[in-house]
Structure 1
């Protein structure tokens, strides 16, 4: 059995060192496939270097055609045609080819036993042998702990895997002698070599134990004893404290723990040192004291006992005076004896190595090493003496030809080369001196009539000259001697031609045998060499038009259409311009091709589809399978080919385009229950009826076709997909029916003409129409509760009506208005209305910690009839009865996660999530906890329900209406990935259609006429534990100090101390890190956390101004923005005028720059920043005039947007006390212009005590 062609290429063209290092890279999983196109035979690999931890890209082309194979590597190696990275890539590519990875014929795998050709566990290889989807599912199972290793020993693992339906599967994986993996599973999966259960076990091993874990299970006792023997120990000795074994890339390494233990000197134990074998005497001294030095040479024998019947032997002789030949006598030199390098020239050293590498001993070793079951070839030398079989001959040439080529090329100028025409005579006078030539010879065959039949004559071509065998010496089928030059062949094809003839180089074929010989023997040889036929044996025919054939072939993603032109059964491909040649009646018939007719057919194929691509390399036209299966193109394709009498070949081997000629016929009926629809659905293609589960499975794979029982595919037309696909995707299939939840009514509302009227569906459609087309004039709104202390703007009234309608249907929804439009007020208005009708109702509000006080404040302000409590902090209640005393319980996401066992015991009427994007990860603990809440209905509030991608929507909708968007994997595969990764507009339309009734979003621009010019809001912030601890310590210190000083000196003389103390507390409210103290504090700042949350989650694409009185605080904010990669501009009092103008211009004109950090004093006046519509006052104070000036930087002439201003106030601090004090001294605040001292003059000792309380 001959070596695979790729391995031949490596051994022919790479040095031994390159091969050795390439194998090392390959065997240590250093090769990763990046891209592959089997159709055009192009593949790219990422190959790890074997010394440094870097990578190179290797591109390989024409890998199925060794004669045309080409490679390119990014490394700088230039010492030969193949580098070690290319060698490693070829080893990997050969493995993939041998494993059938590139074969696209349908294969059913039996999971009871499959072998995967990877030598250590790699996630990339796992994807190759399974699929992206299976690997993703296996990752989820690993994360959920569904894999249990039962036993691991002797390079074998037994495991148990539990799937999503809690079914158990037994998996066994063993690393075999070839270091590949034999695998077994009890599941029925057939599509891939590795099922999801096997992949899960591999991942369990990879993530917990590493890629080489199986090697560590191997019994390494022999190797360990060898390592210990270096120190005079064995495994039977007590090694405690002396040694330990570590594993690297699966192999054991010895670590010496006791430094007093040293390696032993084997010679001290009487083992003799190796002595060199007898030296060859190179120099001889004569009587005149001059040196007569012998040199090495090469002697070529023919007709040796071993195939390929020629040998290169080493000789030594004395060179003549010119140094270009031997004189006197020569002596043979054994290749295996010892040569002292001191007596050799450099080129002689290399010559010895080259001669050894092509010796018969090396040939036998190579055959055993590189042949399948080579270890059992004990009689290979005997086979080589006798007439070997063709497989063995081919292997011999695989070894011999590249070594001939290297030897003749390296030593083309070497003078001491001799040929022995008569093997028995080896004296110098009987030898022929020659030179090696790097010019290859090839072979041709002349064919001419003879009296008794036909004569074939072998011709040897050297350059442009042709010679008969009588004009040169044929040493063996790969070596010829001509005019003193020894030539070898370029490839094994020449050897096959030469071997076809005997020593005469001539062959006669009798007339009676000629026809058969021409067709079966000679015509196949014409594919690998030139055959010159006499004119009497040729005939030329001009053809009108060929027969047309189209060969279909598929890759992973494309269908290839390969045109073929057939002339009397002789097939020619598109870019093959040669004539069609055939054997007929003892003659060679040459059919001249009709180029015009061929071009017409090619143009027909080019324009069959607008997305058709040409691949001249593959001589094919390519079309993505997804495009080929869309709409009705297939039917047009078939009709066109039939019209032009084109034969289609390979259709039966296609998986992606063997289509049933009938369009789908669909019958359905609908019945409903309390909250569901059952759709009785029957689908058929002609006489082939298909099960709904098969259709649903096909749609889940993004296929617009389904496999039918007769092996063909039923193709769903665009019209069918538009009508029925969404229903099947969303519903549960059982017993020939599709069950849909009530909130999936949009999937069947357009099908009402196809089934009997359904009362529940009609009611839902009417409600939806009311929801979408609400008109205040025609439909009087539900009255706003009189006990809501606010006047709702028109858009806020509309949201109240929407929430009321959702309540009637029992559905949850997301209120997704822009930040600042009053989502809290709209929600409280609805909850108050609900409370008025259901006096015993209870509500739960979950929000970020920073918004708890805002909710409490808004409830107190707008709906004071409802009692609220904040369930948060270390001192929160653990009593369910205590919580039930309040109408509204306000808690945080963190507390929800911690207290879910308490909260899920209460039956809330509504659970409301503010900033609901906090649960966008459905696998998070807080998302899972939210699903355990007991609530009649649910609401979500978020200005940015989709922050990063469509998948953000899933967990929020699942909280509102569980199951509405299906499972996590279903939503990711059916909606999120197609929308975000593939930009599939039709899928986006389907999703929008599904969620539209359940999501209400208005932007500031949409409701601008209803908005006031300026909206000011307080954002309460709850300090963290560390920040609170520092604040309380300083407050206590300054309270005692200031009140004592007032008592001793009076208010007037204590103002400096008061100002100093209050400023320190204000700074701590920003961050204790900005205190100018001997003790340096870390940055604990709830305000920075809140600012970042606002900017990343709420402001969306709007622009914001951030003002602070303290430069240190602005610096901390800058650091955080840079950490988050948020572009910003900045200026304070030290900014130059030019820098200031540049910052303003950037902010006003650059859409990416959304944040402007400004010192309150430096930016309070003289600025016009109308690009911003959000303003944040980080550290508000008692002088609102300064803050108003800052807010007015954006609220200027030319501003077309409403302004939203936010003051950040730390709860239970001096900031909140000042705000309350301002309300108590309202007239004072109004009169105050810009003088802090004026404010202080109005404060009393009681006011100061209140501020510091």
Structure 2
């Protein structure tokens, strides 16, 4: 027995010694060590002032930290102590990311939920997962190169009339422009990362910096069909006639971009012409084509395309059904392509963006120098990199570098990103590639001014009290998270007052936590606020209708529209309604009744369904019953009224619920409104291009609660 005791203790000692190496092996295996190395590389580069070179790595690390946190939280196969340890290490990586972003705030844009994830970022993500011994999910694996072998091809169709056209003319005419197109070979700039500096060059623009390429004087303002162009429209058409073939036409809404695109195609004989548009405006495009280019037959694709005219010279298709028709459209032989509301393709990972880029690439490969036009009055929604997919559609860049004439222009500057003056020169090179941006104040002095007037309302009923309590509960939840994080932080850093970096991290956690069961999130709260003020907003619209004439009423949610319509019916006010679930004939009938029937005083519009592509300038007053999450969406709605043809000053009455999140969101929208002005119009307004409204609202709420 005396001999056996040492054996028992001896058997325990090897086990205890083996536990430590096993723990160390776990620490040095898997994704965490890969993330730790990568985040240190990012931190070092930013400290050296070379943030541009590691933007992709910064974004990928942030994405993987977010994904790994969710995986660890959901993993029930490990003990709670192991999970806590892994989460603690992930917090360490996240802290370094936050500190790094604080050094270069342009990196914050990459953390937004709708930030574009480029193909190079996806590739780096797969590479880092492979280093960690992990495989990317099947849906994220690379697609085969053959364009017709992608998922969803079973939905693709080829209309019979298109087959008839192909049989009638099986050989597409040759395009000798393709042979004359030169390919730029980077010389001095070879090896430089250029896309980041090109995007940043628009953030660094100073006051008065140009935002429009030089345009020639038009020879005439006359257009086919007896129509007459405005001078700014004729200038753009003249540029196309002079040989320019790619345009980001970013005129403010209401300045006639449709006519400019159609007449540019006519001036360059870019037929057949493909036009990709939102569903709500495709019928309007056909009508405009009939007005401006009546000699060119136009066809609109509906559903599976049974009514398509395969011999038409202008083909109009909406984003929503592009996946069914992308196969035959790619082989149709288009010599021009127009993308309307081009900000719809800003997310390159979306299916519609991929289809648009595929079509552009196929057209450019065959036609050499086709006419490519991206039309949008709001090219920037959240971030400067919203430009990326648009520039790629136009053939100015690919995933990694500038192309063709843009690269040649950058070479001709004689500068590199390390040289003083590069950013201003690079910005001008991009503008000269084809950015056309005119403001109403610059080119249409006869359009009256517009103003946004906030109308505060009190929610003093039971619902209002419930909303304020829910907001207080949300603030308390944020404070609890903040205090818990402050108490458990490892760095030992002492911050005098509010730790604003930690505030932003806590707000990010709250926004990402969609499973919170302890109270309402910010999205549900804003919807409740919209419902609570709907009747008051409708009452005010009714008063306006009785006093000043026709009124446009915008709401974001269907239930708010329902409340408004019930209110108008009770007041004996006739109204029209524009919603997302209407067919094109139904929508047209509703618009016509509002525009032409003097007894129809109000049109109730969905902010998303009616925010683009319709003309409502018969009214000069509109009511914004609910706030949007972007200034661009609000601007689009206002510009349905404030556009060419408007004869009176326009007032947008914005209904704001006081003592609620509504007031904070309104302030944030106004702050964010300077993004496009700063990037495109040379404004001095200092507004962060990376602002995320949901995140910033939570930051404001938590900061206010901590300051109380």
Normalised by the length of structure 2, the TM-score is 0.41
Say which structure is richer in strand: 1
Larger radius of gyration: 1
Normalised by the length of structure 1, the TM-score is 0.25
Say which structure is richer in helix: 2
